[in-house]
Amino acid sequence: MEFLEIGEDKKDDWNSFLLQNSPESFLQSFEWGEFQKAVGRKIFRFAVFEHGKLLAISSAIEHKLPLGLKYWYLPRGPIAFSGAGDAEQSGILDFFMKSLRAKAKSEGAAFVRMDPAAPKSEQNVWNGLDMKNIEGSVQPKDTLVLDIRKSEEGLLGEMKPKTRYNIRLAEKKGVEAQAEDFSEKNFMEFWELMRETLRRDGITSHDRGYYLQMLQVLGAENSVLKGRLYFAKFEGQIIAANIVLFFGTYAVYLHGASSNNFRNLMAPYLLQWRQILDAKDAGCQTYDFWGITVDNENPKWAGITRFKKGFGGEEISYAGVYDLPINNFLYKLYRGFRKNR
């Protein structure tokens, strides 16, 4: 097997491998890496080949730390060939991790962090790769996914009665929900609504430039990972807005905002329904609500979890977050710093 760093000339092969083996790992798409570069981060892309056949891929995003330290982050990676048997796949991942460790060391990374797109039941696979399973999460460790291959009637039938009622109420009251073309004006409307949401809910999020670059990079005509902005309007006023990503057969509701006004119109319900229908029309099979709290582990997410679960779907729990120490001294220094904070 060979471990190689991949350039832009392999973009199509990269995305094709990902779409065939793990479309839910859209954060490993070539375009997501380009977006991360646009917000100022360095990106590495690695692949394992054997006799010219692609067996595994993962991008690594370099993050800066205090004291001049840095680490690599593999969002929902690495991805191994899904057609391999358990033993073969284990061998591929073991080779990938050993090669990655050597590369990270040569680049001066203190450690590598990853949250693989593997179910919780496969934790033992990742625990056996010399990694440390740490507390917390980077991406949602629990999410809700909806099989949207069903008919509209079937999807409505699996919703909770209150959710169906609220969709119909929003329609009856004259709320309109649809995708919008990217423009500076539309983006600023979204951003003002996001700021209003953050103030109301007392949560932190990304800065303005992060969302702007996301919509610009992923809104490009040739982007395989498509980012779309959705608005719900009442009498011409935007009262809810979401960012939805489309990647092959996978769609994900990534970010959302809503106004303090007209909350009785239930616009977010109709907006989600519009997004689900558009995802069906685009040929998607799965709609990911991107994060819930299980057993009320995060009370701040209780309300949004109730909202999402009203649409039906299946709960998915991922294996968790893992660190691969590269420089043990620097890694311990970092962990001590984090603990003291």
Stretch 290-308: mean pLDDT: 87
pLDDT of residue 176: 98
pLDDT digits (tens, 9 = 90+) for 164-191: 999 999 999 999 999 999 999 999 999 9
Residue 152 scores a pLDDT above 80: yes
What percentage of residues in the chain have a pLDDT greater than 70? 100
pLDDT of residue 196: 94
pLDDT digits (tens, 9 = 90+) for 320-330: 999 999 999 99
Asked if residue 328 and residue 310 are part of one domain, the reply reads no
Residue 295 scores a pLDDT above 90: no
pLDDT of residue 128: 72
Stretch 207-220: mean pLDDT: 96
pLDDT of residue 195: 95
Asked if residue 177 and residue 312 are part of one domain, the reply reads yes
Stretch 88-103: mean pLDDT: 94
Strands 286-288 and 250-258, sheet pairing: parallel
Structural tokens at position 218? 């992923």
Residue 116 scores a pLDDT above 80: yes
Asked if residue 157 and residue 292 are part of one domain, the reply reads yes
Asked if residue 313 and residue 286 are part of one domain, the reply reads yes
What CA–CA distance (Å, rounded) separates 253 from 229?
10
pLDDT of residue 247: 98
Residue 95 scores a pLDDT above 70: yes
DSSP 91-157: HHHHHHHHHHHHHHHHTT-SEEEEE-S-BGGGHHHHHTTT-EEESS-SS-SEEEEEETTS-HHHHHH
Residue 180 near residue 229 (C-beta atoms within 8 A): yes
Asked if residue 151 and residue 297 are part of one domain, the reply reads yes
Asked if residue 165 and residue 112 are part of one domain, the reply reads no
Asked if residue 124 and residue 158 are part of one domain, the reply reads no
Q: Minimum mean pLDDT among 90-104, 112-126, 220-234: which range?
A: 112-126
pLDDT of residue 122: 82
CATH number at residue 302: 3.40.630.30
What CA–CA distance (Å, rounded) separates 44 from 39?
15
Stretch 283-290: mean pLDDT: 98
Domain boundaries, position 28: 2-139+318-340
pLDDT classification of 341: cutoffs 50, 70, 90: low
pLDDT of residue 340: 73
Asked if residue 176 and residue 71 are part of one domain, the reply reads no
What CA–CA distance (Å, rounded) separates 168 from 162?
10
Residue 29 scores a pLDDT above 70: yes
288 - beta bridge partners?
A: 145, 252
Residue 56 near residue 47 (C-beta atoms within 8 A): yes
Asked if residue 303 and residue 248 are part of one domain, the reply reads yes
pLDDT of residue 308: 98
Asked if residue 234 and residue 326 are part of one domain, the reply reads no
pLDDT classification of 120: cutoffs 50, 70, 90: confident
Q: What share of the chain is helix, strand, coil (3-state, %, to 5)?
A: 45, 30, 30
Asked if residue 11 and residue 96 are part of one domain, the reply reads yes
Beta strands in the chain (DSSP E): 2-5, 43-50, 53-64, 70-75, 79-80, 111-115, 132-134, 142-147, 176-180, 226-234, 237-247, 250-258, 286-288, 314-317, 321-325
Of 118, 136, 185, 114, which Cα lies nearest the Cα of 338?
A: 136
Residue 315 scores a pLDDT above 90: yes
pLDDT of residue 137: 83
pLDDT digits (tens, 9 = 90+) for 237-281: 999 999 999 999 999 999 999 999 999 999 999 999 999 999 999
Residue 338 scores a pLDDT above 80: no
Residue 230 scores a pLDDT above 80: yes
Count of domains observed in the chain = 2
Asked if residue 159 and residue 135 are part of one domain, the reply reads no
Of 248, 321, 314, 287, which Cα lies nearest the Cα of 26?
A: 248
